[in-house]
Each structure stands twice: as structure tokens, then as C-alpha cells.
Amino acid sequence: MEKHYQAIIIGAGPSGTACGITLQQHGINHCILEKSVFPRQKTCAGLVTKKTYELIQKLYDKQNIDALFCDTSSRIKLYRKTELLTDAPLQRDIHLVKRKIFDNALVERYQDLGGVLRQGETGITIDYKNNRILLSDGQLLHYQTLIFADGALSISHKLLDVDKSKLAFGLETYLPASLFPTKSVDIYFDYLPNGYLWVFPHGDTVCIGIANQYQKGCDYKKILSDFLSDYGIDVSDIQYVGAFLPYGYAVPQEQLPDNVLLIGDAGGFTDPISGEGLYMALKTGICSAQSIMTDNPKKNYLQSVRPLTDIVKEGKKVQKIFYSPAIQKRILAKLSGKQKLVSFFFENQVEEYHYKYRQILQMYHDYKKDNH
């Protein structure tokens, strides 16, 4: 049997479901193909900033939104190794999600709206020339637009030579909260050459992880175990999970056929300094759906996500400067004891993108003006 869709989305993570929910709300004929069966695990620290929260409100049932979150926090602490540099209060709580629950809730929302999700599709073959996909059961699906939402190791990257060296690798573990009690968002520098370590509250557990520009041969497990040992935690039975994430490489999707769009991690959409990807996943998902409803989806999609592409490109330049050892040493020394500066940066840049990365000096100037 053959089926015809205006759009087919590959992947039902946050970017895929954000796209699917928006298409479904507008009655666009489409489906999602997903290799896993939900609920499924996803390696992620689950930090939800204000801008992400606001997109979730648009996509999810507002009345039940609180059930999505496993914790909140109103402080951010910065460390250099184990030395506390700053403990900064935030005006507004940060939210945290457990991805297994969060992603499943978005999938259920999509299905409640009548969206067609085909789970467990592990053997798809894409025929780009004829705009169709062959499923493992022999069914043929035709598309007008194909949307890759299949994560950092997207199938589409084979067409574009995107390899792991352009990505970051993250490793994390979950411990009972009693073993590492914290109610703040804790960021540790100096454990990794080009990334950071985090400890986030997750209800009755804490999420402890690292992410760094991917380097073959780097012993990520040892870095994390050494940190835990520094805090007196017995690491012999600890389970770690790892995953790749984009880290400042804007995938050149304009080189793909005109009816192929990349969203979320598949398009390289994460913040190159914080590693935050949920905001861009939801945003690019929504933008891609909106572009499908226009006469030139690819052109309009690329135009609507331009501000995000700028963040990826400019953030990559700032990342290189921020993680150069001499400069980072000076920046951390400057942040020491500067609660207001850390709060200002977090609330204006990380939470809301009020400033672009190229405006970082302007941001510092505005902070000085407000706090002289």
C-alpha cells in the first residue's frame, strides 16, 4: 500500500513532535517515523530555561504543564574545580525535566491531537530522487517535504560529510539526591578543556554530567569518576550514559535538496556555550511546520531560523575564546564573588537571548551601567 504525505518527519524527539504538533494543529497531512518505541530514554540534563518554558506552554496542554517537571531551582553556582566562585540567586525559577517523561508527554500530546506516529521503524530506506520512503514492511510513503529530526547523528549527515569531530560528547549519571544534595544549578569549570561539568537537581535524584568538544581517546568516564571521587562517592557501581550533541557547527542544509529540512540536533541547533538544545529543537520544529504552509518551505524555513544559526556561528567563536586556558582563567577570576554579574548574564543571555553573542561586550557594558 502506498501513502502520500505533504511532510514526513524522521524522529519523534522534541524537535519532531514540536513540528508534528504544529502541523497537526493546522490540519497538514503528515506523519512521524521513529526508530524507538516510547517511552524511551534520552541522555540529557533536562535544564529548561525561560525561553524553552514559553515554547512548551505553546505546544503543551497548559493546565497539566507542571506535571512535566521533576524539579525547579532558583540559584546558580559556579565552581572552579571544587572551589565555589559564585552563588547567584535568580529572579525566576529554572525548570528541569526527566527526558523519558518529557518526550513521552510531547508524543502523547501529538497523538491526542490525532497525529500519526509510526514507532519502531528501524529499517527505512529513503529514495531522495523520487521523494519516497520504503518501510521495512514494504510500505511506500511519498512526501513533498522531508524533515530530519533524528538527532545529532542524523541520517542526513551522511549526505553532508558531518562527522563526530564536529560534535560534542556528553556523559552523565544519575545518583540518589541524598548522595549529592543540591537544590541549585551547579556548573564546574576546569575539569574539561572545552566544556563543563554540571550537577542539576532532578527530584529524588541528581544529574551529574560532562560535555566537551568530542575528542577520540578522551577518557570521559575517568573525568566524571575523578570528580565524584573528589566528593567521596564510591564510583565502583556507577552506570554512565553518553550521547553526542551539536556544539557550534551549523549544518549546511542549504546544500541538501530543496524539499529536505533539518531541525533540532540534526541541523546543529544547540547553543555552543551552554549546550542547551531543547529551545532550538522546539523552535526549529515550530518554524519548519510554519514554513511547510508557505509556497517556498526551504527558503522561508532558513530565513526564520537565521537568528538561531547566528547564535550557533557566533557562539562557536565565543566558545573558542572562552575555553582558551589563559582567557578562561581571567574570566573565572572576574566572576569570583560577582553574584549580580552571573545573575545578569544568566537571566539576560541564557534564559532569554536578549543579547546575541556578538553583543557580549555590550551586555557587560549594560550590566556595569545598571550596577555602578
- Which residues lie near ligand FAD (CB under 6 A)? 10-16, 33-36, 42-47, 121, 149-151, 155, 170, 172, 209, 211, 243, 245, 264-266, 270, 275-278, 281
Cross-strand partners of 73: 94
Angle at 172 between CA 320 and CA 122, to 5 degrees: 100
Closest residue to ligand FAD, based on beta-carbon distance? 277
Contact 43, 243 (CB under 8 A): yes
Q: Reduced to 3 states, what is the DSSP secondary structure of residue 274? A: coil
Provide, rounded to whole angstroms, the least separation between the CB of residue 232 and ligand FAD.
Answer: 24
Give the N- to C-terminal CA distance of the chain in Å, as an integer.
Answer: 70
> Taking the complex as a whole, how short is the minimal distance between the CB of residue 264 and ligand FAD, in angstroms?
2
CB of 243 to ligand FAD, least distance (A): 4
Using DSSP, state whether 291 is helix, strand or coil.
helix
Nearer to ligand FAD, 152 or 368 (CB): 152
* C-beta closer to ligand FAD: residue 106 or 342: 106
* Closest to ligand FAD by CB, 13 or 315: 13
Residues 6+ apart with CB under 8 A from 170: 43, 209, 210, 211, 212, 242, 243, 244, 245, 275
Q: Which is nearer to ligand FAD, 50 or 298 (CB)?
A: 50
Smallest gap from residue 11 Cβ to ligand FAD (A): 3
Strand pairing class (260-262; 185-189): unpaired
Nearer to ligand FAD, 152 or 342 (CB): 152
How far is CA 20 from each of CA 268, 289, 298, 333, 357, rounded to the nearest angstrom? 19, 7, 17, 46, 30
Provide, rounded to whole angstroms, the least separation between the CB of residue 173 and ligand FAD: 10
**CB-nearer residue toward ligand FAD: 16 or 115:** 16
Task: Report the nearest approach of ligand FAD to the CB of residue 357 (Å).
Answer: 17
